[in-house]
Homo-oligomer: A and B are copies of this chain.
Amino acid sequence: MTTATRGDADPALTLYQAEPFNAGTPLDALRRSFITPQGLFYARNHAPIPSVDPATYRLTVTGAVRTPLLLTHDDLHRAFPAETLTATLQCAGHRRAELIAVKDIPGQSPWIADAIGTAAWTGVPLRAVLDAAGVDEEAEHVAFTGLDTAHLEGHTFPVGTSIPVAKARQPEVLLAYAMNGTPLPPRHGFPLRVIVPGYAGIRSIKWLQEIRLQAAPSDSYTYTHDYKLFPPQVEKETADWATGLPIGEVALTSAICTPAAGAVLAAGPVRVEGYAFAGGDRDVARVAVSGDGGQTWATADLDPDGSRWTWRFWSCTLDLPPGHQEVVVRAYDTAGATQPEHAAPLWNFGGYMNNAWHRVTLEVGR
């Protein structure tokens, strides 16, 4: 396997790590377009980017199936229906920086609210491939393995995960070969990436080489010793990994994209803009914004675009008095749930799933 370059990744991305390539989208750019341009889409990689020759690429479908399949790049484009779905992907480590501010999380990138993006994904519905292979009754999980090889704490392993068969059979789960109407670039998984809407990005395995139907969840090190949610009192060194919650569906979140934290503004009406994302199969029902640290709230306007698989853009005009003003956002989902107030009680040694109220402090002059 040779490695590919970053391709058309926009130089405006915030670089967290050059190799493997990890970079986030500037928040003002994120809020500029409901569909995130490919060059600005956040990149989260665990290993060098594989360079895959479509002529020799094969996808294996194996395990508890009646007919194992070996599919070529052409098979995927010609032997199956193509569907397009707009879906938001969000990294499990999204907004980790706010957890690091509570207590350090060594060795993990300090993502702000920039590890999220929305694209129109085109590809084969996973269930069409499962139907072609014929899933045995004992299969409960669909395991995915990528062509990327990660190194973590002395272990070397292909990045892998799994999702329940019941989710895999839902119409929204795709094997995508195109993003926003053009072929996937190598850094986003060319030639094939699973897209699992509503789940954390880690479940959307890139450079997919194998789909395995099995009774148990994935035994990949990625799944068993990474991307697990622990409570605040558990330390990495003494964690019993079997007791961690594998991160699947993501939790309701929201963020302020503009004005930027620390912005200096004149007193008076200020337009505040951002996004909210419900995760799972829920939708965003309401967004509330506060100009005074959460004492009083206004209801934001929600843009009409979106579905339960995507974020929702919102905007609000606040009348801010002079001084340091803490602007806060929180969303409600279709179950009437809203977000936790503070990041501290959400701290976990992996730095995952921070969905506290998002806060920016503005300097408002006279």
Q: Which residues of A contact B (CB under 8 A)?
A: 229, 231-233, 243, 245, 247-252, 279-280, 282, 285-286, 288, 294, 296-299, 330, 332, 334-342, 345-346, 352-353, 355
Contact = CB atoms under 8 A, between A and B. Distances in A.
B299 A243 contact: yes
A332 B249 CA distance: 12
22 contacts: A231-B286, A232-B296, A245-B285, A245-B334, A247-B336, A248-B335, A249-B335, A249-B336, A250-B335, A251-B335, A251-B337, A252-B337, A280-B282, A294-B345, A336-B352, A337-B355, A338-B340, A338-B346, A340-B340, A340-B341, A341-B341, A341-B342
Contacts of A298: 233
A335 B279 contact: yes
Contacts of A342: 341
A contact face: mostly helix, strand, loop, or mixed: loop
Contacts of A355: 337
A343 to B, nearest CB: 11
A199 to B, nearest CB: 9
A168 B245 CA distance: 31
A154 to B, nearest CB: 27
Contacts of A346: 338
Contacts of A340: 338-341
B233 A332 contact: no
A251 B330 CA distance: 15
A335 B247 CA distance: 7
A78 B286 CA distance: 45
